[in-house]
Amino acid sequence: MNTHPALINAIDLQQLQIDDATLLIIDLCSSENYNAGHIPGAVHIKPSQLSKGEKPAPGELPELATLQQLFQSIGLKADKHIIVYDDAGSSWAGRMIWTLTLIGHNKVQLLDGGRHAWQKAGLAFDTEISTPTTSDIQIQIDTSHIANMAEILTKLDNPNFKIWDARSPGEYDGRKILAQRGGHIPNAIHLEWTDLTDKEGFLLDNETLKNLLTAKGLTADKNIVTHCQTHRRSGLTWFVAKKLLAYNNIKAYPGSWSQWGNTPSTPIAMESFKSPN
């Protein structure tokens, strides 16, 4: 059971580096940014390592053995207190926390504001590459946090089932097409992932976040599935609902629009546009 709040700020993290011998900091920034400077002691994981990377649904989970090898390589153990951050609006950090939740590791926090937060606090970066001691951890996947296409198809007309589309407005309404077909899953509710943060990438307060979701009909009593194109951006939306707002009935759809929009038989909805006069 995780007794830590889901978010941590840069100053508290700096103190934690002194006080907590079980600390494991995971950096999900670009390789360029990690090499240019990272939080001291942070181990680097390439964001691409969190996804399978195969068409038509590159956002699907890697194979179990691949994930296990990844977590062993960074020294993950059951007692580790994990802090995750990125340079991508906390989307990859959210995806990592979703992945850790799948394997039952809940002693984890997200650095609010990511790499920028550490820099803004005036704290020093390090350029020394961290080489953790590997572990022999064995993992299993809890699929209760994962939605798949077949499940969604059976629930489209269920009033207690809500789909949270975290993509941009253009992707949602079909003007921007990133798969064979554009548009959105029928009845999907649009709330872009960037609406959850301020201009610097810090998450809005919990009350504001809850009000945003409630105004869209995304309430804790509903069964919610969140997605984007490849389950990067929806890594943050899942994190906000599950970890910050305690929505127990939320899943992520890693196939996301890349799978749905590239499957000819799936139903889609699009907005109608009038041609300019």
Whether 49 is covered by a domain: the verdict is yes
Task: Give me the residues paired with residue 224 across strands.
Answer: 162, 250
- Clarify whether residues 14 and 104 are in a common domain: yes
**Among all chains, which residue has been given the structure tokens 């003007």?**
175
- Clarify whether residues 117 and 20 are in a common domain: yes
* Amino acid (1-letter code) at residue 276: P
Residues of the chain with pLDDT under 50: 1, 273-277
- Clarify whether residues 32 and 71 are in a common domain: yes
As a whole number of angstroms, the distance between CA 222 and CA 247 comes to 9
- Clarify whether residues 12 and 110 are in a common domain: yes
Per-position DSSP letters for 58-119, written without gaps between them: TTSPPPHHHHHHHHHHTT--TT-EEEEE-SSTTHHHHHHHHHHHHTT---EEEETTHHHHHH
Looking at 142, 168, 203, which one is the last position of a domain? Answer: 142
- Clarify whether residues 151 and 110 are in a common domain: no
Whether 277 is covered by a domain: the verdict is no
As a whole number of angstroms, the distance between CA 59 and CA 52 comes to 6
Per-position DSSP letters for 30-54, written without gaps between them: -HHHHHH-BSTTPEE--GGGGS---
Q: Which residues, 6 or more positions from 213, have their beta carbon under 8 angstroms from its beta carbon?
A: 191, 219, 241, 245
Looking at 81, 110, 142, which one is the last position of a domain? Answer: 142
- Clarify whether residues 188 and 127 are in a common domain: no
- Clarify whether residues 74 and 189 are in a common domain: no
- Clarify whether residues 138 and 164 are in a common domain: no
As a whole number of angstroms, the distance between CA 228 and CA 260 comes to 11
- Comparing CA positions, the residue from 259, 185, 197 lying closest to residue 224 is 185
Task: Give me the residues paired with residue 85 across strands.
Answer: 27
Which residue range(s) make up the domain with 56?
Answer: 7-142
As a whole number of angstroms, the distance between CA 15 and CA 123 comes to 12
* Residue 165 φ/ψ, nearest 5 degrees: -95, 115
Catalytic one of 100, 146, 228, 252:
228
Looking at 107, 142, 177, which one is the last position of a domain? Answer: 142
- Clarify whether residues 152 and 102 are in a common domain: no
The pTM score is 0.95
Number of domains in the chain: 2
- The whole-number pLDDT of residue 4 equals 78
- Clarify whether residues 99 and 177 are in a common domain: no
Whether 1 is covered by a domain: the verdict is no
As a whole number of angstroms, the distance between CA 95 and CA 254 comes to 10
As a whole number of angstroms, the distance between CA 259 and CA 232 comes to 14
- Clarify whether residues 12 and 120 are in a common domain: yes
User: What b/e sequence results for 115-152 when a residue is b if at least 16 CB atoms lie within 10 Å of its CB, and e otherwise?
Assistant: bbbbeeeeeeeeeeebeeeeeebebeeeeeebbbbeeb
As a whole number of angstroms, the distance between CA 66 and CA 50 comes to 10
228 is catalytic: yes
- Comparing CA positions, the residue from 238, 244, 92, 232 lying closest to residue 163 is 238
* Amino acid (1-letter code) at residue 24: L
Contact 241, 247 (CB under 8 A): yes
Give me the CATH number covering residue 41.
3.40.250.10
- Clarify whether residues 199 and 226 are in a common domain: yes
- The whole-number pLDDT of residue 275 equals 37
- The whole-number pLDDT of residue 3 equals 60
Judged by DSSP in three states, 226 sits in: strand
- The whole-number pLDDT of residue 58 equals 97
Strands 43-44, 81-85: pairing is unpaired
